[in-house]
């Protein structure tokens, strides 16, 4: 063997074997491919989920509007004016009566009332007011000097009213004057606004 042959053999021995490249289908490649697939799925599903969440939120907002805010919009100024007039007329009818027209006055007042308040007013006038009117010739006249709606919905309302009342009697012919503030609860019955409660403030 010559010196040249020895050098060739040594060079061949010193060369390190090449690293094996991963073939198709190796775990590393599969993992990379799987990660890419998940990313693509996320890109597709995320907008769909966001759209679904927005749709649900929009539906809830519509429900809240229909249940809570729309009723307020259906009660306009004309309705409020009607309610105030009904409350004022009812209050005047309840608090105005005279010996000569007592029965008619009480019947007129009850036509402005509804619910349990009708019975309360009837019991009160029968047990207290009627006796005073007959025995002492009590006569009262009431006027509403100011009234406004404090709460209003399509079927119910609350009115705050300020009332002046003048009372004369056999014992006090010169009369007495009284001022009061009342909360008048109203309910819409068959298209008419009627008093369901009458509470001093």
- pLDDT exceeds 50 at position 15: no
pLDDT at position 84 is 97
Tokens representing 130 are 């009627």
Q: How far apart are CA 16 and CA 165, in angstroms?
A: 117
Distance, in Å, from the CA atom of 1 to the CA atom of 29, rounded to the nearest integer, reads 48
The mean pLDDT value for 1-21 works out to 49
Among 54-58, 82-86, 141-145, the least confident range:
54-58
- Mean pLDDT on 75-84: 88
Mean pLDDT of all residues in 173-177: 93
More confident residue, 187 or 61: 187
Q: Report, as an integer, the average pLDDT of 100-116.
A: 97
Note the pLDDT of residue 170. Answer: 92
Say which range, 8-22, 62-76, 123-137, 162-176, has the weakest mean pLDDT. 8-22
- Using left for φ > 0, alpha for ψ between -120 and 50, and beta otherwise, residue 115 falls in left
Token pair for 19: 């690293």
- Counting residues of the chain whose pLDDT is more than 90, the rounded percentage is 61
The whole-chain average pLDDT of the chain stands at 80
Looking at per-residue pLDDT, the higher value among 44 and 166 belongs to 166
Please give the Cα distance from 154 to 193 (Å, whole number). 11
pLDDT at res. 38: 65
Task: State the pLDDT confidence band at 189, using cuts at 50, 70 and 90.
Answer: very high
Indicate the pLDDT class of residue 3, thresholds 50, 70 and 90: very low
Q: Per-residue pLDDT for 192 more than 60?
A: yes
Q: What are the Cα distances from residue 39, in Å, to 27, 30, 36, 95?
A: 18, 14, 5, 79
* pLDDT band per the 50, 70, 90 thresholds, residue 28: very low
Q: Is 54 left (phi over 0), alpha (psi -120 to 50) or beta?
A: alpha
């Amino acid at each position: 063997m010559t010196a040249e042959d020895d050098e060739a053999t040594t060079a061949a021995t010193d060369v390190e074997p090449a690293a094996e490249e991963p073939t198709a289908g190796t775990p590393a490649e599969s993992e990379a491919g799987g990660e890419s697939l998940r990313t693509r799925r996320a890109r597709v599903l995320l907008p769909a989920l966001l759209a679904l969440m927005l749709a649900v939120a929009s539906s809830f907002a519509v429900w809240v509007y229909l249940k809570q805010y729309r009723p307020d919009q259906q009660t306009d100024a004309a309705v409020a004016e009607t309610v105030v007039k009904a409350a004022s007329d009812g209050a005047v009818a309840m608090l105005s009566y005279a010996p000569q027209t007592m029965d008619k006055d009480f019947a007129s007042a009850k036509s402005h009332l509804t619910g349990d308040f009708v019975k309360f007013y009837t019991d009160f006038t029968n047990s207290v007011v009627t006796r005073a009117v007959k025995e002492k010739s009590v006569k009262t006249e009431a006027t509403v000097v100011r009234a406004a709606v404090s709460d209003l919905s399509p079927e119910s309302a609350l009115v705050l009213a300020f009332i002046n009342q003048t009372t004369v009697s056999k014992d006090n012919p010169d009369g007495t004057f009284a001022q009061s503030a009342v909360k008048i609860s109203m309910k819409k019955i068959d298209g008419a606004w009627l008093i369901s409660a009458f509470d001093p403030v």
